[in-house]
Chain A
Amino acid sequence: MRVVVFVKATEDSEQGILPSTELLEAMGKYNEELANAGIMLDGDGLKPTSQAKRVAFDGASRAVIDGPFAETRELVAGFWLWEVKDMDEAVAWVKRCPNPMPGPSEIEIRPIYEMADFAENLSPAAAEIHDRTRDKLSGA
C-alpha cells in the first residue's frame, strides 16, 4: 500500500527557520535508510505558508487567499510518499524519524486509496458509470 506521510508545521517551520546542520544530517541518514529499504517513492520539504496561496471555492466563485495561514498545527511542512506493506510498518518507520522540528512536532500517515478499496462497494455497473464520468472529466 502507498501512504503519504505528512510532517506537520510548527511555529518554527512557519517562520521559515531552516533545520540545523545536525538535523539535516540526521534526516539525510534517515532518508538513506528509507531508500535502502526500498520504500521511498518521493518526498520533499515545503516552504512556509507565508509563500502559499489558497483558492476558495463557493459555487462558481473562486477567491484567492494569500498566506500565511493561521491554524499552524493543521498545516503541512513536508511530505513523503512511501510504499509499505501495512500501517504497522509505516508507523514503525515514522517512529525512527528524527524529530523533524526543534520543539514538539507531529507526523501524520495517510493511506492512499487503492483499487481494492473500492472493489467491495463498487458493482460492475457502478464502476462503469464511475469510469465513464472520469473519462468525461479527463476529456478522453
Chain B
Amino acid sequence: MATTEVHRAIEAVFRIEQARLIASLARMVRDIDRAQELAQDALLIALGEWPRTGIPDRPGAWLMAAAKRRAIDGLRRDKMLARKHEVFARESEEASDSAIAEIEARMDDDVGDELLGLVFTACHPVLSGEARAALTLRLIAGLTTEEIARAFLSNAVTIAQRIVRAKKTIACAGLAFEVPRGAELEARLRSVLEVIYLIFNEGYAATAGEDLIRPSLCAEAQRLGRMLAARMPEAAELFGLLGLMEIQASRLTARIAADGSAISLTGQNRARWDQSAIRRGLAALARAEDLGGADGFYALQAALAACHARARSVGDTDWRRIATLYDRLRAVAPSPVIDLNRAVAYSMAYGPEVGLALVDEIAEAAALRNYAPLPAARGDFLFRAGRLAEARRQFEAAAGLSQNARERAFLLERAIACG
C-alpha cells in the first residue's frame, strides 16, 4: 500500500475510535482539551508506527494505551519541573503524586460506557443548545470546527469560540464525565435528546444547492441517536426520537421538487418515501410505546409522522387519529403552534368550520402574531368552506408575513385562485 493509502486507513480507524478515546481520557484527566491533545498524540504515534507494523488487531486499545502513557509522562514531567523550583517542591510533588495516583485509579475503574458519560457532559444543561450541539458534533461525531461552521451557516471563529467557552464552562462546573443516575437521568436525557433533534432539524432545514454538509447533519443526528439507543435500551423517549427522525428522514428526497423548491407533505410522491426508513421508524416507535412512552413528546410526534407514513395516499390519511394525537401532544407540550396544527387536523377530520372555530380560540396568542401559517391555515379553512373573498384576504395577509420567497409565491397563487 502507498503511504497515503496507509495514512487514510489509519485516519479512518482513528475516526472510529476517537470519540471513545476522548471520552475515556476526559474522564481520566477531567479536562476535554487535554483529552483531545492526548488523542491527537496517540494518532501521531500510530501514524509513525502502524505503516511499519500494520494496524494492530485491537486498534482502540492500542491508541488508548499510547494516550495513557502520554498522560502519565506529562504528569511526571510536571513533577520534575516542580522539583526544580524548590520553593514549591514539596507541596507540588505531593500534589502531582496524588494526581498520578488518582488518574491511575481512574484508569482501572471501569465505569461502563465512557462515551455515554461524554455525551451527557457535552449536552449538560449548563450549556446553551447551540454550544451543546457544536461540542457534541466536535467530540462525538468527530466533525472539525470548520465543518460544524459550514453545517450551521456560521463561521469557524464563532464556532471555535463557542466550543472553547463550552469547555471552560464544563471545567468550571467540575463535571465528572459520568452518566447521571436516578431522578437526574430523565432531565439530563431530555437535554441530550434536544441536542440530537436540534442537529437533525438543522440538517432537515437545508435546501437544495446548499453545502452538502448541511443535509448530512440528519445522518449525524440519527447516528448519535442509534449510538445512544444501543447503550440505553430502556429509554422510551430516545426510541420515540429515533422513530421521529427515521420517519422524517424517509421523506428527505421526496420533499424537494426538481427545481429545488420544497413540496408539502400532501403534495409529495409517496412512492419516493424510503420504506426501509419508515419500517425502522415504526419499529422504534413501537418500542417507545412498549416501554410505556406512548405519551412522550417525541413519541407523539413520531406517531403523528407515522399516520402520514402509513397512508398510501393523502386521501387515506387517518385525520381523526391525527386530531386525537394533537390533543395528547398539546397536553404534554402546550404551545400555540401545536394548537394551530391541531386546528388543521380537526378541519381535515371534521370539516373547515371546526378548524375555523379552533383557530379563533388561539388567534390572539402572542406567539402567532405575524406568524404566516396562521392566516394561511385560516385562508385554507375559509376556501374550503366556500367563503372565497374572506379566504383571499387571509392568503394575502399570509403572503405579506412570509419570509420565504417560494412560500410567498405559493400563497399569492392561492389568493388569486379565490377569484
- A residues engaging B (CB < 8 A)? 32, 35-42, 81, 83, 85-86, 88-89, 91-93, 95, 115-116, 119, 124-125, 127-128, 130-131, 134-135, 138-140
The reply to whether B269 and A134 form a contact with Cβ atoms under 8 Å apart is yes
Tell which of A35, A36, A39, A40 has the most Cβ of chain B within 10 Å: A36
Across the interface, which residues of B come within 8 angstroms of A85, CB to CB? 15
Q: What is the interface of chain B, defined by CB distance below 8 A to chain A?
A: 8-9, 11-13, 15-16, 55, 208, 212, 219, 222-228, 230-231, 252-253, 256, 258-260, 269-272, 276, 280
The number of inter-chain residue pairs (CB within 8 angstroms) is 73
Residue among A32, A38, A91, A125 facing the most chain B CB atoms (10 A cut-off): A38
Q: Judging by beta carbons under 8 Å apart, are A36 and B231 in contact?
A: yes
Distance of A92 from chain B, by nearest CB (Å):
4
Contact B269 A92 (CB under 8 A): no
Shortest beta-carbon distance, A26 to chain B, in Å?
Answer: 13
| Complex Cα gap A39–B228 (Å) | 12
Q: In the assembled complex, which residues on chain B have CB atoms less than 8 Å from the CB atom of A130?
A: 258
Complex CA distance for A88 and B15, rounded to whole angstroms: 10
State whether A38 touches B224 (Cβ < 8 A). Answer: yes
A83 to B223, CA, bound (A): 8
Main secondary structure on B side of the interface with A: helix
**Shortest distance between the CB of A107 and any CB in chain B (Å):** 16
Decide if B16 touches A35 in the complex (CB within 8 Å).
no
A134 and B271 in contact (CB under 8 A), knowing A35-B226, A42-B276, A124-B258?
Answer: yes
Kindly provide the distance from the CB of B39 to the nearest chain A CB, expressed in whole angstroms.
17
- Judge whether A140 and B224 touch: CB under 8 Å: no
Secondary structure at the A interface, as helix, strand, loop or mixed, is helix
Are A140 and B225 in touch, CB under 8 angstroms?
A: no
List the B side residues contacting A83 at CB < 8 Å. 219, 222-223
A121 to chain B, nearest CB (A): 13
Asked if residues B269 and A140 are in contact (CB atoms below 8 Å), the reply is yes
| Contact indicator A37/B13 (Cβ below 8 Å) | no
Determine whether the beta carbon of B271 is less than 8 Å from that of A138.
yes
Chain B residues near A125 (CB-CB < 8 A): 258
Q: Are B272 and A134 in contact (CB under 8 A)?
A: yes
Contact status B225-A38, CB under 8 Å:
yes
19 A-B pairs (CB sep. < 8 Å): A35-B226, A35-B230, A38-B224, A38-B225, A39-B223, A39-B226, A88-B8, A89-B15, A91-B9, A92-B16, A95-B55, A116-B212, A119-B208, A124-B260, A127-B258, A131-B258, A135-B271, A140-B269, A140-B270
Chain B residues with CB under 8 Å of A119's CB are 208
Q: Which 6 A-B pairs have the closest CB atoms?
A: A138-B271, A38-B226, A38-B227, A88-B12, A127-B258, A38-B223
Given A38-B225, A93-B16, check contact A138 B276 (CB 8 Å).
Answer: no
Q: Chain B residues near A88 (CB, 8 Å)?
A: 8-9, 11-12
Contact present for A138 and B227 (CB under 8 Å): no
B19's nearest neighbour on chain A, judged by CB, is: A37
Determine whether the beta carbon of B12 is less than 8 Å from that of A36.
no
